[in-house]
Amino acid sequence: MESPKTIIKVDNLQTSFYTDKGEVKAVDGVSFEIPSGKTLGIVGESGSGKSITSLSVMRLIQDPGKIKGGQILFNGENLLDKSEAQMRRIRGNQISMIFQEPMTSLNPVFTVGDQIAEAYMIHEGKSKKEALRKALDMLKLVGIPSPEQRLKQYPHELSGGMRQRVMIAIALACNPELLIADEPTTALDVTIQAQILRLINNLQEELGMSVMLITHDLGVVAETCDYVAVMYAGKVVEYADVETLFESPKHPYTVGLLKSLPRHDIDQEGELEVIKGMVPTPDNLPKGCRFAPRCPFASDICADRLPELDELEDNSQVRCWIYTDEWDGKSGVSVKDDYGTFASKES
Amino acid sequence: MTTELLQVKNLKQYFPIKGGLLGRKINDVKAVDDISFSIKAGETLSIVGESGCGKSTTGRAILRLDEPTAGEIHFQGDDLLSLNKKEMRKKRKDLQIIFQDPYASINPRQTVRQVLNEAMEIQNVLPKEQRYDRMIELLETVGLGPDKLDRFPHEFSGGQRQRIGIARALAVDPKLIICDESVSALDVSIQAQVLNLLKKLQREFDLTYLFISHDLGVVRHISDRVVVMYLGKIVEIGDKKSLFDNPKHPYTKTLLSAIPVPDPKRKKDQIILKGDVPSPIDPPTGCRFHTRCPFATERCVTEVPELRNTTGMKNGHESACHYIEEIESGEMKPKY
C-alpha cells in the first residue's frame, strides 16, 4: 500500500546499551514507516524495545545507550545526521512527544501557562505576553475547563487527566508534524483514557499530524491506530494495517498475545491461553528466532536461524519461518486456528 | 452450599484530614461510605472501579490494616471489628492478601525460604521439621522449582515474584484471599499465567477470593459476582453475566463502553464522560454520580438512591439508580 507521502521512515534502527556485562541490543534492526496523517501503533510487552525506539527517533538516548546504526528519515532527511542544535529545533516543533507519567514530565515549579508558553517563545520567538495568549488557546483546544484560571496553576493542582491534557497542549503548541505518544493513557482511569484518546484523534484530524503511539494495550491499538508494528525482544515481528492484524494475525507471538488477553466484552470459558515462559533478557537472547523458546510451533530451523521480516500476499509483514519455503515443521498449520491445540499439546 | 463466608455490613472508612494551626481534624476523606455485601464460600467476588472509588480501602478494612470508622465485618460468625489485636492476628491466618506490587510487598533482604518460613512461624501452622517439605510443595504449587528456595526477590521477574506472593499467602492455609490488583503490574502474557494459576488454586484448595481490580477484562474472566463502586459507594452488584451483559447503572454502562476492545471492526457507541471523578472529601449530594451522569435530574441531586432489584433484573442483581426503568424503556434520554 503506497500512500502519497511518508512522514517518517525508520530503516534498520539499532540502539544498544553498553553495560558492564557487555552490549545490550535493546533495538535491533527495526524498520517501519508512517504515512502522513496516519497513526502507527507500536505494541509489545516490557523489554520489547518499543520505548527505546521512540526515544531513538527523538534522539533522546543517553549514556550508556547509543544509536549505532540505521536511518531515521523525517521528511526525507536523516535525523541521525543532525547536530544537537538542529535536533533541538526539531524537537517540540516538528516532532513532539508525550509520556506516560505527566507528573514527572511537567516541571513542578512553573505554572501550566509558563510551560506551554515556553514552546512558543523558543520555537516561534514570540513575546511572553503573546505566548501566554496562545497558551490559553491551546488549553481551550485540549478541553480544559476554566482555562484562564488553569493557566496560572501549578501541575500539582491538576488531576492526572488534566495534566495529560496539559502535556498534549505543550506537545501540540507548535503544530508538530509528528506526535510520539509513549503510553499516554496507561496511568489513567478508563473513563479518562477514553477522553484523552478521543482528544488525540480529534486533534490529529484537525491539525493533520501523524502519530506514533507506543502502547502495551491491544485494545487501544484497535481503536486508535491505522497501522501496527508488534515488537518482541528488540525486533519487529509483525507489521500490518490494523484490520488485517486483528482479523488475521500471523506471528505466533501476536496470536498468543491476543489469546491471552482477558476480554470484558465476550465470554471466555475455562482457562486463558498463555504464552509459556518469559521474555528473554536482552543480554541473553536466543540464537535463532527470539520467540522460539516460547513458541508452541517452534521447529528446528527456528532454534537455529533468525527469520527475516517478509511481506505476505495481504501486504502484511511477518518475521516467522512458518510463512517461508524453508519451513521444516508440520505443514499446513494455521497459527491463528491451531495455536490452542499446539500450546496445550506441549504443556 | 451457599454459606456466607464473609459479610460486610454498613462499612465506613473515613480518613481524617488534619489542618490549621493546631492540627485539628478539619474534614474527612470518605473513602468508603456505608457499603454492604457478602461473599459465599468458594466464590470469587470482584470489586471494580476507578482510582479513588474505595475498592482497595475496602479490602484493607476487612483485614483491619486500616481501622474502619464504622460497620460490621462478619467472618465465619465472628465480628472481626470486635476482636483485639492478638485475636485479629490469629484470624489473619484465614484471611490473606496479595498486593499489586510484588517488588514492594516482599522483603528484599529475605530469601524465599525466609519469606515462607516467617509466614508459617507467625501463624504456627506446622511444626518446624515439616516446614521444609511444605515449602517445596508450595513452590511447586505456584509453578516454581525447588531450586528457587534460597534465592532473593531481586533474582526473580515480576511474574515470578507475584508467584512468591501467592505462595506466601497459601503457606498458612487461608480460607479467603484478597487479591488487590494482583495481576495489574504484569505483562499480558504473564498475567494470563497468573490468572490461570489463581483459578487452579481455587479449585484445589477451596479458596474464596475477593478480587479487587480496575481491569474489567480480568474481572469478567475470574469472577462469579461483581461489585461496581464509585466514590465510596456501591452503584451496582450482580452475577457476572447480568452485570456485563445487562448493566443497569449509567456508570457501569459508561465504564464498560470506555474500555477499548481489541477488535477494530467493532465501532461501538462510546459514552464519553465529561470531567473527572469528584473529590471524596466533599462528595456530591444525592447520587454521587450525578455530576457526570447524562441522565441526572433534580431528584438525583437531592435523594440518595438505594440498591434495588426491579423487573428485568435477575435475582441478586441490584443497581443504585432512581431511573433504572425509565432509562431501560427509553423514556429518559441521555443529555450529552
Range of the domain at B269: 248-336
Kindly state whether residues B211 and B324 are assigned to the same domain.
no
Q: Average of pLDDT values for A109-130?
A: 93
DSSP state of A281: P
Of A299, A177, A295, nearest to A237 (Cα)? A295
Kindly state whether residues B243 and B313 are assigned to the same domain.
no
Q: Chain B contact for A128, CB < 8 A?
A: no
Residue A221 CA, distance from chain mean position: 10
Total domain count for chain B? 2
Say which CATH number the domain at B31 has.
Answer: 3.40.50.300
Tell me the pLDDT tens digit for each residue of A257-312: 999 999 988 888 778 888 988 888 877 889 999 999 999 999 999 999 999 999 99
Q: Give the whole-angstrom CA distance, residue B63 versus residue B89.
A: 9
Q: Alpha-carbon torsion B116, B212, B244, B265, what sign?
A: negative
Q: Chain B contact for A247, CB < 8 A?
A: yes
Q: Chain B contact for A246, CB < 8 A?
A: yes
Kindly state whether residues B193 and B284 are assigned to the same domain.
no
With cut-offs at 50, 70 and 90, classify the pLDDT of residue A81. very high
Are A274 and B215 a contacting pair at CB < 8 A? no
A49 neighbourhood in chain B, CB within 8 Å:
none
Q: Which three cell numbers stand for residue B170?
A: 497459601
Are A279 and B277 a contacting pair at CB < 8 A? no
Kindly state whether residues B186 and B257 are assigned to the same domain.
no
Q: Which three cell numbers stand for residue A229?
A: 508494528
Residue of A nearest to B259 (CA): A190
Kindly state whether residues B213 and B301 are assigned to the same domain.
no
Q: Give the whole-angstrom CA distance, residue B123 versus residue B316.
A: 36
Are B199 and A198 a contacting pair at CB < 8 A? no
Tell me the pLDDT tens digit for each residue of B124-162: 888 999 999 999 999 999 988 899 999 999 888 888 999
Q: Alpha-carbon torsion B112, B114, B120, B123, what sign?
A: negative
Kindly state whether residues B180 and B81 are assigned to the same domain.
yes
Tell whether ipTM is more than 0.90. Answer: no
A190 neighbourhood in chain B, CB within 8 Å:
50, 214, 216, 255, 258-259
Tell me the pLDDT tens digit for each residue of A222-239: 999 999 999 999 999 999
Kindly state whether residues B271 and B212 are assigned to the same domain.
no
Are B261 and A263 a contacting pair at CB < 8 A? yes
Kindly state whether residues B78 and B211 are assigned to the same domain.
yes
Distance from CA of A289 to the nearest CA of B (A): 18
Instruction: List the single residue in A194, A246, A262 with the smallest CB-CB distance to B217.
Output: A262
Q: Chain B contact for A344, CB < 8 A?
A: no
Q: Give the whole-angstrom CA distance, residue B38 versus residue B301.
A: 29
Kindly state whether residues B48 and B185 are assigned to the same domain.
yes
Are B261 and A265 a contacting pair at CB < 8 A? yes
Kindly state whether residues B229 and B266 are assigned to the same domain.
no
Residue of A nearest to B292 (CA): A191
Find the DSSP H helices in A208-310. 218-224, 242-247, 252-260, 300-304
Q: Are B156 and B106 in contact (CB under 8 A)?
A: no
Kindly state whether residues B63 and B178 are assigned to the same domain.
yes
With cut-offs at 50, 70 and 90, classify the pLDDT of residue A94. very high
